[in-house]
Amino acid sequence: MPDVPGDPVVHPRSREFAAKVRAHHKELGHSERQIRGVEVVTHLTRLVARLVQDFEGAVHRPLGVTWAGFRIMNTLWIFGDLEQREIARISGTSRASVSSALNTLEERGLVERRRERDDRRVVRVSLTSDGLDLLHQAIEGQTAREHAWMAVLDDEEVSQLVILLDKMVNQERPS
């Protein structure tokens, strides 16, 4: 994989992280099932951080958008026009981040905000044609990066991972 600005080479200490997490949790007396859960969450959070850093450095920043901006534009592409508050909920981004990213996207002519006639408090957001063009470029670049990241898995492993992650993501919040 070519070096990406901001994507550090995986340091040997980083590779030790999971083993050290396991050992520390074992010392705390956690069960094997609890430790495996900690390992899953640890790997997922570390992977997400690396993916976001890679996508942003290799794809989104060169196009002049942030990860948050891409997620917002992608959400609008998938769902169409949305209320600003719905964008935050659907994209998993804070309202403050959405507001800030929308300011930047709107200044660049990539999205358009408009107030509802019947209720001026409601702000709807839509992609502009320039936003859609830029989003398509970002999707092409990100899809290539995703393919590169997934190359370490065979087709069956990818299918299993999709099923397992879908099951976790779509569950009700545990009590």
Task: Give the tens place of pLDDT for each residue, 31-67.
Answer: 999 989 988 998 899 999 999 999 999 999 999 999 9
Residue whose C-alpha is closest to residue 155's, from 144, 147, 167: 147
Q: What is the 3-state secondary structure (H, E, C) of 97-124?
A: HHHHHHHHHHHCCCEEEEECCCCCCCEE
Residue 52 CB coordination number (10 Å): 16
Split at pLDDT 50, 70, 90, the class of 1 is very low
pLDDT of residue 20: 86
pLDDT tens digit string along 16-32? Answer: 887 888 888 999 999 99
Instruction: Pick the closest to residue 88 from 78, 98, 103, 76 (CA basis).
Output: 98
| Residues forming a β-bridge with 114 | 124
pLDDT at 3: 47
CB count within 10 Å of CB 158 equals 13
The pLDDT of residue 12 is above 70 = no
Domains of the chain (ranges; CATH) run 11-63 (no CATH), 67-135 (1.10.10.10)
Residue range 76-99, pLDDT digits in tens: 999 999 998 899 889 877 888 899
Residue 108 has pLDDT above 90, yes or no: yes
pLDDT higher than 50, residue 2: no
Mean residue pLDDT across the chain: 89
